[in-house]
Structure 1
Amino acid sequence: MHATLNYPDHWNGYRYKKKNLTLWLGGITGFEADDLSRRLFEGSGNDPAFIHESLVVYSNRKDRRHQIKNALGGITNIAIKTYGGREQQNELSTWKASKVDCILLDEQPTMSVFVECCMRIMNTEKDDHGMIIIAATCTRFTPFVLSFTERVEKTEIDREGQKVGDEKQVKIASGEVRDGKVFLLAGWNDAQHLEEEQKKNMRANMLPMEVDARTKGLPSIGSGMVYPVLEELITCDPFEIPNHYASIIGMDFGWSDPTALTFGALDRNTGILYITFEYSMSAKTPDSHLADLQTMRGADSLKWAYVMADPAGQASSQKDGESLFMLYRQKGLNLVKADNARSAGILTCLQMILDGRLKIFKTCPKILNEIRGYAYDEQGRLIDGNDHLLDAMRYMVGGVGHAKTETKDQDDWSFLMDRHRGLGIM
């Protein structure tokens, strides 16, 4: 309708009134993009083409660009793009630097493509309505899904006689318009062409965790994001840490995978644990890591705070028989064996996030990136990969009872370095 500007009489939605339009269509990969093109201009199976050949004035299938005549006597420019698979890195640049009237995305886009699409329609002029339409089966909770289904509600609560700000994540209902966005759940009952025998056969071939997503439009709770929270709920602007805050550090050992540390500051008055600093580097020795950290503002608490470390670091190296625990303790770090019960640790972290008791400084982009990609598969199993800072965070949260404040009798960092050099350790 929007491409041809040929609206039926009963249509109560928005109608474009300008003669010349630019429309984009997006598919996951080149195969889906080509299929979109065929459905538009050739039809599929017994279904006719959406756009009759008599309206086409220009068509370049290779570049996926087309022009058609519309009902107002103008031209509608149609471009078909991709946002996933092997083409994603090369194709993302094609979503930039254009003014677009209407964008239709077939299946869930990447968050980066969605943000680019939002930028493309915000340049429309007064009374020039830009919109994005997305048709997708969202089987998992992802940052994209959360951007439609959740919001952060800010309130004030009384805490020890003082009014303080509080935030919590609440669900948005289907059909509720928020910040210019709305989602509608569509299930099999909305697809009137599906017969009962078809539904029965289709359900029999689905994974149990997919049934609600595909039959009711509900993403599965058991798959997708491990921490299904909006970044607005978990992040905060950095601030100067008061001296009375207690410090705690989490550490995950690595070599080809990064050695990762998260630095936490606990406000005992509010119970909020802030992740103030992150460190993640690969293929470096303990000496090199400590030398790097010595120069970084934010890592000062490593001089005296307890470090909740991956218990796997206690295993002896086949090369020299020394454990990473021993090496780092010899260099002055207060290492403590962390609890490595992953499922319990994740639930503890999630509950702290939902309660507003775990915050991450916006100056920690790596851990935020790990959160976006930390997910369960369709069977509810954790997908291992880019999660080293999250492991360090989990160790830190589990050992928050070890958080301590700096005291005057703590060894000075430079003194520790000199002492270790004298012992021949460094």
Structure 2
Amino acid sequence: MAVTELDLSGLDLSRLTPAERRRMLELLTLRAKLKSENKLADYVPYAKQKMFHAVGGIYGVRERLLMAGNQLGKTYSAGFEVAMHLTGKYPDWWEGKRWDRPTIGWASGITSESTRDNPQRILLGQPGDWGTGCIPAADIISISRASHGVTNAVDSIKVRHMSGGVSIVSFKAYEKGREKWQGPSLDFVWFDEEPPEDIYTEGLTRTNVGSNGAEGMSGITFITFTPLLGMSNVVKRFVVDKPAGTNVTSMTIHDAEHYTPEQRASIIASYPAHEREARTNGTPTLGSGRIFPVDEETLKVAQFEIPAHWVQLGGIDFGWDHPSGAARIAWDRDEDVIYVTAAHRQREQTPLMFAGTIRPWGDWLPWAWPHDGLQHDKGSGEALKDQYAAQGLLMLQDKATHPPAVGKEEGTGGNGVEAGVIEMLDRMLTGRFKVFAHLNDWFEEFRMYHRKDGKIVKLDDDLMSATRYAYMMRRFAVVKGGPKRAMYDFSNSAASGARAI
């Protein structure tokens, strides 16, 4: 039996001789040393860390971002992934990208000092205890010291790969400038903390073909940081632009299992209000602030079957260059609680394509839509809302408006954005607005929805807008399975909600 597998829990130490006790102490010391020098064998990721690893393999994502709060384990997870790629020692649960040959990569940080204190420390351990980091000590062939004068800084590490070859990881700093990032083809680049855009682009370029160009397999980049720089171009690339081959995993303090509920509450309270979301939930600081400064955990509810007497309605936000968005709401009128029960968004979708995805939500479901639904397509001459109606969606007769004042005609309530978001915020704060917890795209937009210079930023807000249109027109919601209606007439809404024409 290996020393690391010794089970001493049932041993009666009082029956041991002094010599046996000394030997037992030696074994315990040896076991602790061996475990500290092979932490990779014991790495078990949290759910969000495992998701971050997996998208690189299951979905073949080339560029990954783990955007998380402070001290949640983001750097450790990336360090263990680097150790796997260097050694070829992938655990049974691993679903991420694999190499069956030695790899060449870079691990980087903001300055030479921060690179030493973070990625280098995570991979090697503290100076004097090298071999106690993520890379198993037995697999470290050699360590080359850096020549730039920073005490205990390392230039590169050679690591034994299971195939019999040698992997290499070198350390880089953003402060050295883009020119220092030009050079070889690499299998991976790990950016610890947010890099400047030009540094990220140069690092990404290094992985275009991998270290073995003849293999025809590109490399990968992964970034781990807390987004304290706000909506930078690098953050925007992942959370707004989302080019093919990118993925962002958001990890909050509630995903970190090493904290107790009491510790989480204490940590959250310790941060200044303007940094709290970034430092605990990994949400970028956003100009003048978030539109919905609400803890998303208070909104989340597990998916459930909607009671038959609740009324429902869909909302749609038309798009092309930016995604089209659709949201379905259910209204518990007895308790006056709104539930967002479904959400979908997709860019460059024709009415035929987009309607085909959301039509299964219910052929009885009425749809609210914005004023641009009256715009006519230059090719067909048909209004957008009519094109969606032609695809089987029950589009309300007129654009989304707030309820009219008492005694006023339907359609006179206006369609102001501010009034809608203020009402939704009030419901969120008073427990009257809930969202099915699995709607990840909805919550992604919810976190990013913000103001700049006091004005709502119309960017990546497709599901927020679709939800608002449905909320504004909730008075026309219907029960599931009600009579089909081709159109809805506003003329008698105050009395009967909606009636067919």
1:255 aligns with 2:338: no
Q: Could you tell me which amino acid in structure 2 is paired with residue 394 of structure 1?
A: R
Aligned-pair CA distance for 1:350: 1.0
Q: 1:313 aligns with which of 360, 373, 376?
A: 373
RMSD (CA atoms): 4.8
Q: Could you tell me which amino acid in structure 2 is paired with residue 329 of structure 1?
A: A
Aligned-pair CA distance for 1:291: 2.5
Aligned-pair CA distance for 1:57: 4.6
Q: Could you tell me which amino acid in structure 1 is paired with residue 171 of structure 2?
A: D
Q: Kindly provide the CA deviation profile for residues 10-53 of structure 1, in whole angstroms up to 9, marking residues without a partner as x.
A: xxxxxxxx999999998xx978434756999xxxxxxxxxxxx9
Q: Kindly provide the CA deviation profile for residues 375-419 of structure 1, in whole angstroms up to 9, marking residues without a partner as x.
A: 122x1222222111110011111111112224553369xxxxxxx
Query: What is the rounded CA distance, in whole Å, between the counterparts of 2:285 and 2:152 in structure 1?
Result: 44
CA contact (8 A) 2:364 2:480 kept: yes
Residue 483 (structure 2) aligns with: 409
Q: Could you tell me which amino acid in structure 2 is paired with residue 365 of structure 1?
A: N
Query: What is the rounded CA distance, in whole Å, between the counterparts of 2:335 and 2:257 in structure 1?
Result: 42
Residue 279 (structure 1) aligns with: 344
Residue 383 (structure 2) aligns with: 323
Question: What percent of counterpart residues are identical?
Answer: 22
1:360 aligns with 2:446: no
Gap runs ≥5 in structure 2: 1-31, 40-70, 76-106, 119-147, 157-169, 174-189, 205-219, 240-247, 276-283, 402-414, 487-501
Number of equivalent positions: 275
Matches within 5 A, 1:207-222: none
Q: Go from structure 1 to structure 2 and tell me whether the alpha carbon gap of 1:106 and 1:313 turns closer, same or farther (over 3 Å shift).
A: closer
Give the alignment's TM-score, normalised by structure 1.
0.52
Query: What is the rounded CA distance, in whole Å, between the counterparts of 1:39 and 1:289 in structure 2?
Result: 49
Query: What is the rounded CA distance, in whole Å, between the counterparts of 1:94 and 1:274 in structure 2?
Result: 35
CA contact (8 A) 1:260 1:279 kept: yes
Residue 380 (structure 1) aligns with: 454
Query: What is the rounded CA distance, in whole Å, between the counterparts of 1:370 and 1:106 in structure 2?
Result: 16
Aligned-pair CA distance for 1:239: 0.2
Q: 2:297 aligns with which of 224, 229, 232?
A: 232
Q: Could you tell me which amino acid in structure 1 is paired with residue 473 of structure 2?
A: G
Query: What is the rounded CA distance, in whole Å, between the counterparts of 1:80 and 1:386 in structure 2?
Result: 25
Query: What is the rounded CA distance, in whole Å, between the counterparts of 1:183 and 1:400 in structure 2?
Result: 37
Q: 1:60 aligns with which of 155, 159, 162?
A: 155
1:392 aligns with 2:466: yes
Aligned-pair CA distance for 1:182: 5.1
Residue 418 (structure 2) aligns with: 343
CA contact (8 A) 1:249 1:262 kept: yes
Residue 243 (structure 1) aligns with: 308
Residue 48 (structure 1) aligns with: none
Aligned-pair CA distance for 1:118: 9.3
Aligned-pair CA distance for 1:252: 0.7
Q: Kindly provide the CA deviation profile for residues 149-192 of structure 1, in whole angstroms up to 9, marking residues without a partner as x.
A: xx9xxxxxxxxxxxxxxxxxxxxxxxx964452554689xxxxx
Query: What is the rounded CA distance, in whole Å, between the counterparts of 2:450 and 2:471 in structure 1?
Result: 19
Aligned-pair CA distance for 1:241: 0.7
Q: Go from structure 1 to structure 2 and tell me whether the alpha carbon gap of 1:220 and 1:281 turns closer, same or farther (over 3 Å shift).
A: closer
Bigger proportion of residues as strand: 1
Q: Could you tell me which amino acid in structure 2 is paired with residue 305 of structure 1?
A: L
CA contact (8 A) 2:327 2:344 kept: yes
Gap runs ≥5 in structure 1: 1-17, 41-52, 66-78, 96-103, 123-129, 131-150, 152-175, 188-208, 211-218, 413-426
CA contact (8 A) 1:83 1:92 kept: no
Q: Kindly provide the CA deviation profile for residues 87-133 of structure 1, in whole angstroms up to 9, marking residues without a partner as x.
A: 499798475xxxxxxxx9895799989949998994xxxxxxx9xxx
Q: Secondary structure at the match of 1:356?
A: coil
Aligned-pair CA distance for 1:83: 3.2
Query: What is the rounded CA distance, in whole Å, between the counterparts of 1:312 and 1:105 in structure 2?
Result: 38
Query: What is the rounded CA distance, in whole Å, between the counterparts of 1:404 and 1:278 in structure 2?
Result: 18
Q: Go from structure 1 to structure 2 and tell me whether the alpha carbon gap of 1:380 and 1:85 turns closer, same or farther (over 3 Å shift).
A: farther
Residue 407 (structure 2) aligns with: none
Residue 371 (structure 1) aligns with: 446
Q: Secondary structure at the match of 2:316?
A: strand
Residue 111 (structure 2) aligns with: 33
Residue 419 (structure 1) aligns with: none
Q: Kindly provide the CA deviation profile for residues 342-400 of structure 1, in whole angstroms up to 9, marking residues without a partner as x.
A: 111111111111121111112211111111111122x1222222111110011111111
CA contact (8 A) 1:25 1:105 kept: no
Query: What is the rounded CA distance, in whole Å, between the counterparts of 1:239 and 1:186 in structure 2?
Result: 37
Q: Go from structure 1 to structure 2 and tell me whether the alpha carbon gap of 1:119 and 1:354 turns closer, same or farther (over 3 Å shift).
A: closer
